[in-house]
Structure 1
Amino acid sequence: MRPSAMLRSHLIAVADRRTTSALYGTHRAALVDYAAGIVGGRAQAEDVVQDAWLRIEQVERGRMLEEPLRYFYRVVRNLALDRRRALKRETRQDGTDSTAEIAEIQDEAPSPEDVALDRDELKRVVERMATLPERTRTALIMHRVEGRKLREIAEHLGISIALAHALVADGMRHCGRAVAR
């Protein structure tokens, strides 16, 4: 590898770690909340998020992450599920009453009230989306529902990637107002 290519590769890796570090700082509380819902406690959730960060740092040394936040959530979920399974195994092995400890683990199913609130919120968002211009609505659905990349949206609509990004951002802001009520 030529020295200039090695330097470019190194700079990209450093920039990627900075991006992921910023994501960690920005989304840490949400990641802990997410993990706490799985493991059943904030202390264990803090450990899970820290472990996830360490693993992601290792992965970043070998390759650039395409969607670091999505990857971060996946690693947190997997580690949290592993931790919960380990807790269940330990409970069964030490002979204590596992039903009491398992009852402490938070139920993952949403309450009927949460389901009703979420349905109402979804209805407001769908109504709000119907008021969007066609191109903005198409870009938003392609990105947020279908998981398409901005490049794909731009190609489909025959626009620039920057305009595709602007359309998705406008649609998100517009629909976010329905949720903010």
Structure 2
Amino acid sequence: MPPERASTLLYRTHRTALVDYANGIVRDRARAEDVVQEAWERIETVERSRVLTEPLRYFYRIVQNLALDCLRARKREALREGGRLTDVSEVVADETPRPDAVAAAREEFRIVIESMNELPERTRTALVLHTVEGLKLREIAERLELSVTYTHQLVAQGKLHCLLRLSRES
């Protein structure tokens, strides 16, 4: 028997929580079950071609996207059937982040800023130019008067440092 995929283990372990999460968005338990099932099938497909670095986070993201797609479809259907806008507003979930999600994001942001401040100046500058300002490696290399290869190394080192700090402190 082949070894169990990580997505299958996650599905079995976190299914109830994932359905509860989807249900919080779609407000329909049966549809929430369908959303989680479809998310699992999609993750299984992706997992066949590559290893997922954060499969549970990916699972929740797919569930969220599918649940929102479900809401949009219900909204379109209600409008086609002559539903009033007030009827549609009842099926649209509040997309305001939960307070715990906001707090977690702020904490992650604080850690990233601290870790960036720990970087050497040139590494930090290359990372900011690439990730914040969206410059291409070639443009950063020209601006900093470095080779593209070395610029790539600086950006990669900076990202790795931030990721390691996040994983240690999360």
In structure 2, distance between residues paired with 1:131 and 1:158: 22
Is contact 2:75-2:91 (8 Å) kept?
Answer: no
Deviations 1:135-172 (A, max 9, x none): 00000000011111000110011011011110000000
Equivalent residue number for residue 68 of structure 1: none
- Give, in angstroms, the shift of residue 114 of structure 1: 0.6
TM-score normalized by structure 2? 0.56
Alpha carbons of structure 1 residues 27 and 141: separation in structure 2 relative to 1, 3 Å? farther
In structure 2, distance between residues paired with 1:127 and 1:108: 29
Equivalent residue number for residue 114 of structure 1: 101
TM-score normalized by structure 1? 0.53
Q: 1:40 aligns with which of 30, 50, 67?
A: 67
Is contact 1:129-1:137 (8 Å) kept?
Answer: yes
Equivalent residue number for residue 134 of structure 1: 121
In structure 2, distance between residues paired with 1:26 and 1:104: 36
CA RMSD in angstroms comes to: 3.5
Deviations 1:91-136 (A, max 9, x none): 2333679878755554322111111110011011101110100000
Q: 2:146 aligns with which of 137, 150, 159?
A: 159
Alpha carbons of structure 1 residues 26 and 85: separation in structure 2 relative to 1, 3 Å? same
Is contact 2:116-2:158 (8 Å) kept?
Answer: yes
**Pairing of 1:1-40 with structure 2 (within 5 A):** 25-26=49-50, 34=61, 36-40=63-67
Is contact 2:79-2:88 (8 Å) kept?
Answer: no
Equivalent residue number for residue 159 of structure 2: 172
Give unmatched runs, 5+ long, in structure 1.
Answer: 1-21, 42-79
Q: 1:149 aligns with which of 136, 143, 146?
A: 136
Taking every aligned residue pair, what percent have the same amino acid on both sides?
A: 40
Matched letter for residue 154 of structure 2: L
Aligned residues: 119
Equivalent residue number for residue 87 of structure 1: 74
Equivalent residue number for residue 50 of structure 1: none
